[in-house]
Amino acid sequence: MASPSDEIPMSALEVKALDAIADGIYQIEFAHPEGDDLPEFTPGAHVYIEVPNGQVRRYSLCNDPEERHHYVIAVKREETGTGGSKSLTDETRVGDKLQVSEPHNDFELKGNPARYIFIAGGIGITPIMAMIHHLRATSGKPFKLYYLTRDADQTAFLEELSGPEYRGKVVIHHDQGDPDNAFDLWPVLEQPKGAHVYCCGPRGLMEAVRDMTGHWSSSSVRFEDFGTRKPANEEDDKPFTVRLAQTGEAVPVPAGVSILEALRTNGHHVPYSCESGTCGSCRTRLVEGEADHRDLVLSEAEHQDNIMVCVSRAVSEELIIDLPE
C-alpha cells in the first residue's frame, strides 16, 4: 500500500534539539536549515516525518502555532512498536536533516464554544499542548485539561503544566497502572453546558469518552490518536467483498487487510490520513450492507449511510460503497 508520504511533499529540516523530557519520551525541535520561517500551522496539526530507518510516521506539533521559526514534537519511544519511534529517538542526532512534510490538521479547534475540555492520555498531550498555547496567547477562552498518565516519571510537560499559570486549569492524574485507580470523567462530561471536548490518547480512553458523551452534539466532541486502531486481524475478522456502486466492480477484502488497503491495491484512490478511524479523511458513502463500524468519528445516525474504510469492516458478506469522485 502506498504511504501518505507518496502523496505529501516533504522537505529537509534540521534537528536543532533532542531531549528526554520524561521516561521514554523525547522532545525534538526542527528548523529550516537556512533559518527561514516554516509554513504556518494551526493548533492540533501534525507533520509526517521520514525517520532514519526510512519509515514515515505522523507526529503532532506541540509548540505555540505563533512560533514560525521551529516545529516541536514529543515522541514516545515504543519498545514493542514497528520501529519508527525507536529509529527517530535512537538514531537521530542534533544537526541531522530529516524529511518533514508541511503541517496538516484533522483535529482543528472549531466553532465558538463557551469553554473547552481537553482530555489527554499519555503522549496524547502533544496536540493539546499546541491548543493550550494558542488559547492562552490569543482568545483567552476558558479551558480545563484533564491529563491522565501512569505515573509522574512518564508524564511529559509535567513541570510546565504544574506551574502557577495553570492553577485551576489543569488536573493531572496518575493511575499507577491500576484500572481501579482510573480518573472518573463522568462528572466532567455529564452536562455539556456549551463546552467542546477534545480527546487524544489510547483507544480505550477515547472509547470511554465516546460512551460518556453520547448525549452531546457530535460536532462538539472530537478525537485524535496515534495509530492505536483496532487491529484488522482480530479473531472476529473474516473476508468479505466490497462492491463499487458506480461500476459494479467487486473488490475482495481478506482478513487482516483493511478496506482502504484493498481498494488502493486494486487501483482506487481514497483520501486518507490517520488510518485509525479518528480523523474522518476516508469517510465513504455506504449504499448497502451491514458494516462493523470501528471508527470514533461518525455518530450512530451517520453510521447508517457512511463508513470509515481505514478501520471498519463488514458484518454482511458484501458491502456496496460509493467512492468519492
Listed residues 224, 253, 271: the one ending a domain: 224
Q: Is residue 234 part of a domain?
A: no
Q: Is residue 110 part of a domain?
A: no
Q: Could you give the CA distance from residue 283 to residue 323 in angstroms, rounded to a whole number?
A: 9
| CATH number, position 209 | 3.40.50.80
Same domain, 214 and 247: no
Question: Taking Cα atoms as reference points, which of 104, 106, 8, 21 lies closest to residue 56?
Answer: 8
Q: What are phi and psi of 307, to 5 degrees?
A: -150, 140
Same domain, 163 and 246: no
Cβ neighbours, 10 Å, residue 17: 13
Question: Taking Cα atoms as reference points, which of 234, 227, 317, 244 lies closest to residue 287?
Answer: 244
Same domain, 70 and 25: yes
Amino acid at 278: T
Listed residues 101, 132, 156: the one ending a domain: 101
Q: Is residue 260 part of a domain?
A: yes
Q: Is residue 264 part of a domain?
A: yes
pLDDT of residue 219: 84
| CATH number, position 274 | 3.10.20.30
Q: Is residue 106 part of a domain?
A: no
| CATH number, position 95 | 2.40.30.10
Same domain, 73 and 167: no
Same domain, 74 and 163: no
Q: Is residue 108 part of a domain?
A: no
Q: Is residue 154 part of a domain?
A: yes
pLDDT of residue 274: 67
Same domain, 125 and 210: yes
Exposure string over 168-191, b if 16+ CB within 10 A, otherwise e: eebebebeeeeeeeebebeebbee
Host domain of residue 186 = 115-224
Q: Could you give the CA distance from residue 13 to residue 38 in angstroms, rounded to a whole number?
A: 9
Same domain, 217 and 151: yes
Listed residues 171, 197, 224: the one ending a domain: 224
Same domain, 121 and 97: no
From first to last of the 325 residues of the chain, give the pLDDT tens digit.
344 445 568 999 999 999 999 999 999 999 999 999 999 999 999 999 999 999 888 899 999 999 999 999 999 998 876 788 999 999 999 999 999 999 998 889 988 999 999 999 999 999 999 999 999 998 779 999 999 999 999 999 999 999 999 999 999 999 998 989 999 999 999 999 999 999 999 888 988 998 999 899 888 999 986 554 444 445 568 899 999 999 999 999 998 889 999 998 999 988 876 677 777 778 899 999 999 998 877 877 888 999 999 989 999 999 999 997 6
Same domain, 133 and 57: no
Same domain, 31 and 121: no
Q: Could you give the CA distance from residue 273 to residue 238 in angstroms, rounded to a whole number?
A: 25
Q: Is residue 107 part of a domain?
A: no
What is the total count of domains within the chain? 3
